[in-house]
Amino acid sequence: MLRRDIAPRQHWQALAQEYGFNFHTINGEPYWDESAYYQFTLEQVERDIEDPTQELHEMCLHVVDEVVQSPALLTDFCIPEAFHEAVHDAWLQRHPSLYSRLDLVYDGKGPAKLLENNADTPTSLYESGFWQWLWLEQCVDGGTLPQSADQFNSLQEKLIMRFRDIANIHQQKVMHFSCAQDSAEDRGTVQYLQDCAAQAGLETPFIFIDDIGVTETHRFLDLDDLPIHSAFKLYPWEFMLSEEFGEIAAYSSTKWVEPLWKSVLSNKALMPLLWSRFTGHPNLLPSFLHKDLDKVDKSGKWVKKPIFSREGANIMIIDNNEVVAQTGGQYGDEGVIFQQFHALPKFGDNYTLIGSWLVNDMPAGMSIREDNSLITQDSSRFVPHIILG
The answer on 362 and 259 residing in a single domain is yes
Residues in the chain: 389
The answer on 262 and 301 residing in a single domain is no
Q: Give domain status of residue 313, yes or no.
A: yes
CA-angle at 250, arms to 275 and 260, nearest 5°:
30
The answer on 372 and 321 residing in a single domain is no
Q: Give domain status of residue 280, yes or no.
A: no
The answer on 189 and 334 residing in a single domain is no
The answer on 297 and 203 residing in a single domain is no
Prediction pTM value? 0.94
Q: Give domain status of residue 118, yes or no.
A: yes
**If you average pLDDT over every residue of the chain, what do you get?**
94
**pLDDT value at residue 239:** 93
The answer on 188 and 297 residing in a single domain is no
The answer on 100 and 175 residing in a single domain is yes
The answer on 237 and 89 residing in a single domain is yes
The answer on 297 and 197 residing in a single domain is no
Q: Give domain status of residue 275, yes or no.
A: no
The answer on 69 and 118 residing in a single domain is yes
The answer on 316 and 251 residing in a single domain is no
> What confidence tens digit (pLDDT) does each residue in 83-142 have?
999 999 999 999 999 999 999 999 999 999 999 999 999 999 999 999 999 999 999 999
Q: Give domain status of residue 272, yes or no.
A: no
Q: How confident is the model at residue 299 (pLDDT cuts 50, 70, 90)?
A: confident
Please report, in angstroms and rounded to a whole number, the separation of the first and last CA atoms in the chain.
11
Q: Give domain status of residue 276, yes or no.
A: no
Query: Would you say 332 and 305 are in contact if contact means Cβ atoms under 8 Å apart?
Result: no
Q: Give domain status of residue 277, yes or no.
A: no
Domains contained in the chain, number: 2
Q: State how far the Cα of 8 lies from the Cα of 36, in Å rounded to an integer.
A: 8
The answer on 204 and 103 residing in a single domain is yes
CA-angle at 310, arms to 255 and 1, nearest 5°:
105
> What confidence tens digit (pLDDT) does each residue in 252-268 have?
999 999 999 999 999 99
Nearest CA-CA partner of 76 in 334, 362, 266? 334
Report in angstroms the alpha-carbon separations of 186 from 101, 212, 313.
15, 17, 17
Q: Give domain status of residue 281, yes or no.
A: no
Domain of residue 118 covers: 2-267+346-387
